[in-house]
Structure 1
Amino acid sequence: MYAVVRIPVRILAVVVVLPVRVVWDLLALGARAVYRRALRPAGDAVGRACAWLRRYLLAPVGHALAWLARGAGLVLEWAALAVFYWPWAGLWRYALAPAGGALWRWVLVPLGQGVALLARGTAVALGWLAKALFVWPWAALWRHLLVPGGAALYRYLLRPAGQGLAWVVLALVRYLLKPAGAGVVWAVNAVWRYLLKPAGAAVVWTVGAVWRYLLVPPARGADWLVRALYRYVLTPAGHALVWFLPRALAAVFVWPWAALWRYVLVPAATGAHRYLLAPLGHGAARLARGLYRHVLTPLGHFAASTWRLAGRVSRALGRGLLRLWRGCVARPSAWVYRQVATPAGHLVREVWRTSRSAARLVWRTSRTAAGEVWHTARSAVRDARAGVRQALFGTPPREPARSRARTLGSKTAAGNTPAPEISLREQQG
């Protein structure tokens, strides 16, 4: 099969896919060239510019701002200290604290000690006065009047009266109250034994009889009736309701839907799945497998082989164009550069170097000659002007002669006037 479609594949690859692959390769080459020659250098330049900007502009500005902020903070701190802390601290340390200490030490402490001493003396005096007014008279009255009077009254009046009263009370209890109490106790025992106890026993027997023969039988009958009603009526009715209500609710709300699900929906879904969806699914699967196996796979192989063939042709075309470029442009240009331009450049460089040295030597010589001519002409003009001045106005007067003084450290005397100053150019001229 592949042998049959090989020729059409090649024709299609050359006619249709090759231009697309060539355009794709050109776009890829252009993109790589743009990335290498433009985007990456631009990115590197931007990165270096940003690094330079950060290093030489932003970092110094940031350091300067930080230094300025630190300086401003320090200045503000010193200003705040100078305005809000140091005056009050100095006022407290050097004015209020010494004044308060001195006031406390030399005024308040002595004043407090004096007030305490005065209060202590006043308290002692008031204590003595209070004792003299309220304690000592009553103590003396109690000690010297009431205690002896009370002791005498107790000894000679109250104790004999108490002893007589106690004898009277004992006699009254022994001969009057004790016999009367014994009679009262005998009467109470008699009333309890012969009146209250039989009456209580009769009341207890009556209450027991009423409870046993009047209240208990109806209560037992009511209890039996309630138990029988619960066991034989309410319990079966409850069981019947418990059995009936779920079934009734299921019959109303569950059984129809269950029957619908079991006898309608499930058979319909099973039949639809078995006789409709499953055959359709199997047919679709077989169709998809056949389409994938007999259409998409050959088309994929065809497209892949076409793309590879176009790539080979494009690569061969590119290599041919590259070789053509190298053979027609690059190598001749390199040969011209090596064999023609480089020797010509070296020759031009040597000629320029030699001509530059010769021109420099000629310039120096001409400049020296021009300088000598200029100095000669200037000296001649100066001499002519001096001769004309001497001829017109005569010789200028000289300074008077001075005493010849001996020079220190030598045996010769110094001249009267110093030698005239003559420049090096005048000596050479």
Structure 2
Amino acid sequence: MDLDKPPAPPPPPEGCLTVAIRLPVRIVVLVLVLPVRMAWDALVVCGRFLRDTVLRPVGRALLWAGWALLVWPWATLWRHVLVPLGKALGRLGHVLVVVPLHWLYARVLTPVGHALARVARAAGTGLAWLYARVLTPVGRAVARSLEFAGRLLAAAGAGVWAGVVGLVRHLVVAPARVLYAWVLAPAGRALAWCAGAVVTGVGAALYWTARVLLVLPAVALWRRVLAPAGRILAVVAREVGEALGHAWRVAGRVSRAVGRVVATLFRWIFVEPLRRVYRTVLVPVGHVVRDLALRPAARAARAVGRTARQALDGARETLRQARADLRRVLLGESRPRTAVDRREPTGRGTRTLGSSTTALTKD
């Protein structure tokens, strides 16, 4: 698939201005960026060391202290005080409020509600009979009377409206149509044509005036001054940006090299001598101290502990025998225990996984 792809287009050729600007800009930017990058790398190293050695332990200590001072007391208060108190109040409220209200609802309000429902049902039945037997016939008669009167008024109103419409048509509408068709319409067309001619002439004059005084100078300024200056500034800005990136990367490599050199010098000056001192001086001294002082002291401590345990065991056994003798003197000899047949073999005939002690399968 890669062989079928068309080759990438070649980069556009660079002008002499770009080549002339690139090298000085990169040198100046590298000189300016290198101290900043080295200071930044030093701050990063210090920040990581401070984070690993100070901030994280302090943060863990503050987290533990906050949990011990804030979370744990409130959790203990909630679990051991508020929850039992809430349960007790809930039970008390159930006994003092819910049970009396339930009894009041079941014994008082429900019978009263049933009685009121029956009274309302009886009243509704009476009102329904009154509506069906009295109010409905009266309403129908009144509706018929109103309908007849409405028809009479509608007929009279239709006649009056027809007369008024005829008068308005002959006295107002017809003269207005004649006036609009023969006077207002021709006058309006003449005024519109005059206004259009005036506006067209004024617009053409203003257009050419603005074009000559504003547009043509602006276009010339853009083409001859602003566009070339913008291209030059764009080239300079692009080269400065690329120079900053290149200088930042180069400064990072220089900073890492300097850091390796400093770390190597620190290891040669401090770490290696300290390690050699530890291996050649402290380790043999520690072995000598361990063999001559610590191990004999540990053996003596173990012997003392063994002697103390033996003495305690002897004292405990003597106390046990004295207690048994006192019980025997005060209470007499205890009766021997009678053996109980638990159907289990004893001695060499005990039951194991590889053998059986039953009568049918005994070896």
Q: TM-score, normalised by structure 1?
A: 0.42
Higher relative contact order, chain-length normalized (CA < 8 Å, sep 6+): 2
